[in-house]
Amino acid sequence: MIPRYQKIVFIGLLVVSIVMAVVLVRLRERAHDQLLKGEDLAPTSAPAVAPAEAATLLVANDMDGTLVEVKTSLPLPKDAGARARALLEKLFEIYAAAGAMHPVAGVARPVQQVFLLTVPEGAATNKNGSSTAAGMLAVVNLSGEFADGHPAGIAAESLTVESICATLHANLPQIAQVRFLVNGEVRKTLAGHADLTRTYLTSEIPSTAVTGTQPAGEARGVVQP
């Protein structure tokens, strides 16, 4: 004869076992669901590589103070801001290369961002007081490391600024104005000379110059006696 208290203990243990089994099954199902979610987040295909496109870079030449048009091909993103940044980084790669005609020390990420903003016609005036045409304003945020390492000089700094503006306008013609930031803040000059507080109009940037053919003041050109 089984005592009554033993029956109660047996039934209690049985109920606990059943509850534990149900809990274990639920935990297992939850873990399985989480595993499936993790698999969904993982990349299942290789990222698409943008196709190489033709681009025009306006490369500065210190020896004669001109901008030289260089045709190149490089993968460019669809987003206009990212596209502008890729173009400028390619330009600075040329300047950082050994034997460059406009040598500038190479840094890891010279252009932090390029923001493109729409500027309606007449919304701003240039330094001469006349209204600016409609178009995009490109805000180029340079890295402090790049600005600090830039060679000092009116010619060298002006050529860098002009080549940036001209390269942006050549590939993204909607860019009519360019402003500069360094590490996200306004800085007076690039390396002590070129004014970074003003808005540069791409229409004011001299086009590719040919040595010795420009009259004084029209475009920078070398004059060899």
Partner 1 sequence: MAVIVKPRTGSWRLLVALLLVPASIWAQAPLAHGTRSVVVLDAAHGGDDSGGQLGRGLPGSSAGESPVATVAEKSVTLTLSVRLRSLLAARGFAVVTTRESNVNLDADARAQVANHALALACLSLHATESGTGVHVFVSSLAPKDTRSGGRFLAWKTAQAGYVTQSLKLASVLNSAFEQSVAGGSAGSGSNAGVEAAAIPVSLGRTSLPGVDSMACPAVSVEVAPVRGADRQVVTDVTDTQYQTRIVEALAAALMEWRTEADTEAASHPKSSGGPQP
The binding site for partner 1 (CB under 8 A) comprises 62-65, 96-100, 102-106, 127-129, 149, 151-156, 158, 188, 191-195, 197-198, 204, 206, 214, 216-217, 219-225
Nearest residue (CB) to partner 1, 47 versus 129: 129
- In whole angstroms, how close is the CB of 103 to partner 1 at the nearest point? 3
Nearest CA among 67, 86, 61, 209 for reference residue 140: 86
User: What sign for the dihedral angle of Cα 61, 66, 72, 76?
Assistant: positive
- In whole angstroms, how close is the CB of 125 to partner 1 at the nearest point? 11
Contact by Cβ (8 Å): 88, 165: no
- In whole angstroms, how close is the CB of 49 to partner 1 at the nearest point? 30
Nearest residue (CB) to partner 1, 1 versus 63: 63
Nearest residue (CB) to partner 1, 118 versus 203: 203
- Phi then psi dihedrals of residue 119, to 5 deg: -115, 115
- Phi then psi dihedrals of residue 165, to 5 deg: -65, -45
Nearest residue (CB) to partner 1, 67 versus 86: 67
Cα–Cα distance for residue pair 145/49, rounded to 1 Å: 29
What SS3 state is found at 163? helix
- In whole angstroms, how close is the CB of 146 to partner 1 at the nearest point? 12
Q: Which residue is associated with the tokens 């590939």?
A: 171
Nearest residue (CB) to partner 1, 160 versus 171: 160
Cα–Cα distance for residue pair 29/38, rounded to 1 Å: 14
- In whole angstroms, how close is the CB of 153 to partner 1 at the nearest point? 3
